[in-house]
Chain A
Amino acid sequence: MEYTLLILLLPFFSFLFLGICGKWLSHKTAGLVGTSVLGIVTILSYMTAYAYFTAPRGADGTFATLLPYNFEWLPMGNLHFDLGIMLDPISVMMLIVISTVSLMVHIYSFGYMHGERGFQRYYAFLSLFTMSMLGLVVATNIFQMYMFWELVGVSSYLLIGFYFTSPAAIAASKKAFIVTRFADMFFLIGILIYGYFVGTFNFVEAGADGQVVDTMGQICGFDADAAKFIPVALGLMFIGGAGKSAMFPLHIWLPDAMEGPTPVSALIHAATMVVAGVFLIARMMPLLQSFGTIGGHTVLGIVVWVGVFTAFYAAAVACAQSDIKRVLAFSTISQIAFMMVALGVCTELPTGHHHVGSLGYMASMFHLFTHAMFKALLFLGAGCIIHAVHSNEMSAMGGLRKYMPITHITFLIACLAIAGIPPFSGFFSKDEILTACFAYSPFVGWFMTAIAAMTAFYMFRLYYGIFWGTENEELHAHHTPHEAPLVMTLPLIFLAIVTCAAGFIPFGHFVSADGQAYDIHLDWGVAGTSIVIAVCSILLATFIYIRKRQPVADSMAEKFSGLHRWAYKRFYMDEVYQYVTHRIIFARISKPIAWFDRHIIDGFFDFLAWGANALGYNIRGLQSGAVQKYAFVFFLGILALTLLFLLA
Chain B
Amino acid sequence: MIQIEYMLIISAVMMCAGIFGFITRRSTLAVLLSIELMLNSADLNFAVFNRMCNFGGNEGYLFSVFAIAIAAAESAVAIAIMINIYRMLKGIQVDKLEKMKG
Chain A residues with a Cβ under 8 A of chain B: 620, 622-628, 631-632, 635
Contacts and interface: CB of A to CB of B under 8 A. Distances in A.
B102 A620 contact: yes
Contact of B94 (A623, A624, A627): A627
Interface of B: 19, 22-24, 31, 94-95, 97-102
Given A623-B101, A627-B100, 19 more contacts: A623-B100, A623-B102, A624-B98, A624-B101, A625-B98, A625-B101, A625-B102, A626-B94, A626-B95, A626-B97, A626-B98, A626-B101, A628-B23, A628-B24, A628-B31, A628-B94, A631-B23, A632-B23, A635-B19
A641 to B, nearest CB: 15
11 contacts: A620-B102, A623-B102, A626-B95, A626-B97, A627-B94, A627-B97, A628-B22, A628-B94, A631-B22, A631-B23, A632-B23
Contacts of A622: 102
* Interface SS of chain A: helix
B22 A625 contact: no
Nearest to A635: B19
A631 B99 CA distance: 17
B23 A625 contact: no
B94 A625 contact: no
Contacts of B95: 626
Contacts of A635: 19, 23
Nearest to A625: B101
A623 B101 CA distance: 5
Contacts of B19: 635
A415 to B, nearest CB: 82
Contacts of B99: 625
B51 to A, nearest CB: 25
A635 B21 CA distance: 13
A632 B31 CA distance: 13
A175 B101 CA distance: 57
A628 B27 CA distance: 11
Contacts of B94: 626-628
Contacts of A631: 22-23
A620 B100 CA distance: 12
Contacts of A624: 98, 101
Contacts of B97: 625-627
Contacts of A632: 23
B94 to A, nearest CB: 6
A626 B24 CA distance: 11
A625 B24 CA distance: 15
Nearest to A622: B102
Nearest to B24: A628
B12 to A, nearest CB: 13
A371 B14 CA distance: 100
A623 B100 CA distance: 8
Contacts of B100: 623, 625, 627
A631 B28 CA distance: 13
Contacts of A625: 97-102
Nearest to A639: B19
A624 B99 CA distance: 9
B69 to A, nearest CB: 24
B19 to A, nearest CB: 6
Contacts of A627: 94, 97, 100
A442 to B, nearest CB: 88
Contacts of B31: 628
Contacts of A628: 22-24, 31, 94
Contacts of B23: 628, 631-632, 635
A467 B102 CA distance: 84
Nearest 4 interchain pairs by C-beta? A625-B101, A623-B102, A625-B98, A625-B100
A612 to B, nearest CB: 14
A635 B22 CA distance: 11
Contacts of A623: 100-102
A626 B97 CA distance: 7
Contacts of A620: 102
Nearest to A621: B102
A622 B100 CA distance: 12
A625 B97 CA distance: 7
B23 to A, nearest CB: 5
Nearest to B34: A631
A326 to B, nearest CB: 68
A638 to B, nearest CB: 10
A624 B94 CA distance: 13
Nearest to B98: A625
Contacts of B22: 628, 631
